[in-house]
Amino acid sequence: MSETPGPSSREFDAAFRQAFRDLVLWRRDVRRFRRDPIDPALIRSLLELASHAPSVGHCQPWRFVLVETAQCREAVRSSFVRANAKALENYDGEQRAQYARLKLEGLEAAPVHLAVFADEATKAGSGLGRQTMPQTLQYSVVGAVQTLWLAARAEGLGLGWISILEPENVCRILEVPDTWTLIAYLCIGRPVEEHTDPELERHNWQERLSTERLIFKR
């Protein structure tokens, strides 16, 4: 009897790994976008790929909302303005001045606005894997966002994640079901400039921590 062949595999070579490393290093949180429109088919293909991210119990809880109307976009931008003004109050002196100078979003110019939610009521996966760590449902959506981020950068697209928002307001503005949690509000478009160092590092807000400080043993 001949042996049943095992499932085939896919190997990646050193050249790919080097390019993947470059992809990770060149991924940035982008705040300055060109206004050129992006082909909707490209966005759709990126979302399709992002949907292959891991999810707890294979529950695929990501829900992608393309925010297209001027009215919704303006309301979200107002939410950012309010939340950012409030955040500024937490800083004093030179740090306050520095915060005020930072550009923290690209809502005005970005051609694509994408709100990403977790469907907390999904029946998919039948609850597997999230009895003791229910937050893994939300974490699954973050994995899809990071996959999208890398895939977008490979297409020459920049992505910016705006967390300075009132999440309940954004849910109301976008009229999503009560059981959806806002995970990320993303701007996508062609970046005006490219960098390997994060904006907050370049403007001396926060330096990179050495890997040694991040690894421990038990």
Cβ closest to a copy of itself, residue 2 vs residue 90: 90
Cβ closest to a copy of itself, residue 35 vs residue 88: 88
Q: Minimal CA–CA distance to 61: which of 165, 5, 143, 1? A: 143
CA distance 7 to 29: 38
1, 10, 54 from 7: Cα distances, Å: 18, 10, 20
Cβ closest to a copy of itself, residue 35 vs residue 195: 195
Cβ closest to a copy of itself, residue 2 vs residue 9: 9
| Closest approach of a copy of itself to the CB of residue 59, in Å | 7
| Closest approach of a copy of itself to the CB of residue 49, in Å | 6
Cβ closest to a copy of itself, residue 68 vs residue 108: 68
| Closest approach of a copy of itself to the CB of residue 191, in Å | 9
Determine whether 197 is exposed, middle or buried from the number of CB atoms within 10 Å of its CB (0-12, 13-18, 19+). Answer: exposed
| Closest approach of a copy of itself to the CB of residue 83, in Å | 5
| Closest approach of a copy of itself to the CB of residue 97, in Å | 13
